[in-house]
Amino acid sequence: MEKQRELKRSLSPLNVWALAFGCIIGWGAFVMPGNTFLLKAGPLGTAIAMGCAVIIMFLIAVNYSYMINRFPVAGGEFTFSSKSFGRVHGFICAWFLCISYLSIVPLNATALALLSRSLLSSVFQFGFHYTVAGYDIYLGELLLAVASLAIFAWLNIRGAKMAGAFQTLLAMLLVLGVAVVAIAALLSPAASADHLRPGFVPDRSPLVCVLSVLAVVPWAFVGFDTVPQAIEESDFSPVKTRLILFVSILFGAAVYVVNNTVTAAVVPDGYTNWYAYISDLDRLSGLPSLPTFHAAYQLLGSAGLTFLGLAVLAAILSGIIGFYMATSRLLYSMAKEKVLPRWFAALHPVYRTPANAILFVLVVSLVAPFFGRTALNWVVDMSSTGAAVGYGYTSAAALKLALAEKRPSMVACGLLGLLFSIVFCVLLLVPLPMFDCSLSRESYICLIIWVFLGSVFYLTAGRSGSKV
């Protein structure tokens, strides 16, 4: 009878790797070369920044692995911070993580519309139409988002094993699609090393270029930290999590670098290098206005678009599945600790999944697409802060535990992880024109509202007798 109140252990190491990798890579990995990475840093600047990012994320991953081995239960950062610093800190950490995870579910669902616009033209642009913050919303695209959210909520309720198997399949398709395009770039005359010059953005110093991309690391790698959310349903030793975290980060960085380099190496006729092409992007239309998709088409024709389209579709769907799992397990663990109503901790009688928490994520996510992609991005942009807060609390918890256990190497990892997390928060929250990576005014407003709501929730819970 007790087992009916526990999550079912059914995830393999491969399933958990697919969860982390699938959450790291989403629609952004295929559009950021054109609208972020090349504009801020150039091909060489981005590659160097991603190399530095891997080292930083490895340090933070060591802290995660250290804490997972001490607390192998769902809840991740919430559990680490509450056990180390008390329930108030646990609530603060979890509140920021909730928005970080929860907002990415509908973001991926609305990305299906962007993919259809890129590859299928106006197929889903039918029915009633309205505009929010400059973004056009169509009934057909709303139905696409709603259907995907409902299907994957059902899949997650059916059990972690089924969701994990599907997630693994999607991760393999993602790797295959990117690998095919990368190999084509090595063999095709359409890609040229000459197009990769200059390595950095001409009017910026190499250091500023690298730091500008490093500033988006919390957003670019959010997802590897879903591993501790799944550990309670994993059918293997927590000791293996360090390797899983490392491999997911490496694969994620590889996809970013490969997409960025291929995009820079393949330019339309009439352009001599990536800089001339990207600088002219606002004046282009059709496929050339989507550099990564254009590169795939130039390399392999329609087959290239098909392979890249499958990779993007796999990235989007794996993000929906992965963040459904991560968000619902975070809510489940908070409810078990009585930070949220007990309703969120209820498990499905047959599948032993947190069905109520999954349904809550579904309901909230169904509302978001009606406000459009632009408005949703305001929330998602500030979710990077939530990821940085989670990294910081985990590193601080590892630092405290390592000091108590007198483990110098872990003390160093904990301290460095905490310092990097603070730097990420400063870059996101303090406007620094040279990096152009701080939150937009709208995202600041969303962050203030979220902090205010958290304060109200905390105070209300305290007055009602729920000790937070």
Q: Is 327 exposed, middle or buried (0-12, 13-18, 19+ CB in 10 A)?
A: buried
Query: Which backbone phi and psi does 132 adopt, to 5 degrees?
Result: -130, 120
Per the CB < 8 A criterion, the answer to whether 432 and 102 are in contact is no
Q: What pLDDT digit, counting tens, does each position of 145-194 carry?
A: 999 999 999 999 998 888 899 999 999 999 999 999 999 999 999 999 99
> Given this model, what pLDDT does residue 211 score?
86
Element (H or E) spanning 131, and its range?
Answer: strand 129-132
* Residue 310, in any domain of the structure: yes
Q: What pLDDT digit, counting tens, does each position of 12-31 carry?
A: 999 999 999 999 999 989 99
* Residue 468, in any domain of the structure: no
* Domain ranges, residue 130: 2-461
Residues with Cβ within 8 Å of residue 122, at least 6 apart in sequence: none
What phi-psi label fits residue 216: left (phi over 0), alpha (psi between -120 and 50 degrees) or beta? alpha
Find, among 48, 43, 293, 297, the residue nearest to 193 by Cα. Answer: 43
Q: What pLDDT digit, counting tens, does each position of 395-448 carry?
A: 999 999 999 999 999 999 999 999 999 998 888 888 877 666 777 888 888 889
* Residue 341, in any domain of the structure: yes
Give long-range contacts, CB 8 A cutoff, 24+ apart: 65-71: 65/241, 65/242, 65/245, 66/398, 66/401, 66/402, 66/410, 66/413, 66/414, 67/228, 67/394, 67/397, 67/398, 67/401, 68/227, 68/228, 68/231, 68/238, 68/241, 69/238, 69/239, 69/241, 70/401
Q: Is 128 exposed, middle or buried (0-12, 13-18, 19+ CB in 10 A)?
A: exposed
Supply the pTM of this predicted model. 0.93
Q: How many distinct structural domains can be found in the chain? A: 1
* Residue 311, in any domain of the structure: yes
* Residue 412, in any domain of the structure: yes
d(CA 373, CA 146): 14
- Tens digit of pLDDT per residue, the chain (468 long)? 444 567 888 899 999 999 999 999 999 899 999 988 999 999 999 999 999 999 999 999 999 999 999 999 888 899 999 999 998 999 999 999 998 899 899 999 999 999 998 888 789 999 988 998 888 999 999 999 999 999 999 999 998 888 899 999 999 999 999 999 999 999 999 999 999 999 999 989 999 899 888 878 877 898 898 899 899 899 899 999 999 999 999 999 999 999 999 999 999 988 999 999 999 998 888 888 899 999 999 999 999 999 999 999 999 999 999 999 999 999 999 988 888 888 999 999 999 999 999 999 999 999 989 988 888 888 877 778 888 999 999 999 999 999 999 999 999 999 999 999 999 888 888 887 766 677 788 888 888 998 998 888 877 765 444 544
* Residue 467, in any domain of the structure: no
Taking the CB of residue 129, how many other CB atoms lie within 10 A of it? 12
Domain containing residue 222: CATH number: 1.20.1740.10
